[in-house]
């Protein structure tokens, strides 16, 4: 049973470009969470999605960031017009139900030049 998969593992973008981060949850999991880990800090919640719905986006920056979890395919975290401050590790987690344990993927490390 494959775990949570994220790609790419490493992503380099120049300022002003777009970054797309993908997350495939564990088989059977319909709840997806995105977290961001800035250097030397803990993880901070960004957004919680179920299939085709955003449930909680209280941690998402108001501009340039968006997330989706379509009926088919992976969840996507999209960052438009990236800036150096967006450089971080972005982790996706999934769970079987709303009360179940969250299982984390290996993360995508975004570097903005």
Residue 1 binds other proteins, judged by CB under 8 A: no
Residue 65 binds other proteins, judged by CB under 8 A: no
| Candidate segments 12-20, 22-30, 54-62, 65-73, binder of other proteins by CB under 8 A | 54-62
Residue 12 binds other proteins, judged by CB under 8 A: no
| Candidate segments 11-19, 20-28, 68-76, 94-102, binder of other proteins by CB under 8 A | 94-102
Q: What is the DSSP string of the chain?
A: ----EEE-SEEEE-TT--EEEEEEPPTT--EEEEEEE-TTS-EEEEEEEETTEEEE-TTS-SSSEEEE--SSS-EEEEE-S--GGG-EEEEEEEESSTTSPPEE---EEEEE-
Residue 74 binds other proteins, judged by CB under 8 A: no
Applying CB under 8 A, the residues found at the interface with other proteins are 4, 6, 31, 33, 35, 41-45, 48, 55-56, 58-59, 91, 93, 98-99, 101-107, 109
């Amino acid at each position: 049973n494959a775990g949570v998969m994220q790609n790419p593992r490493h992503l380099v973008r120049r300022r002003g470009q777009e970054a797309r981060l993908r997350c495939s949850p564990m088989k059977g999991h319909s709840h997806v969470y995105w977290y961001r880990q800035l250097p030397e800090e803990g993880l901070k919640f960004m957004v919680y999605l179920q299939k085709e719905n955003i449930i909680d986006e209280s941690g998402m920056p108001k501009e340039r960031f968006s997330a989706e979890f379509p009926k088919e395919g992976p969840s996507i975290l999209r960052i438009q017009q990236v800036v150096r401050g967006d450089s971080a590790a972005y982790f996706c987690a999934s769970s079987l139900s709303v009360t179940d344990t969250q299982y984390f993927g290996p993360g995508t490390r975004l570097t903005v030049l």
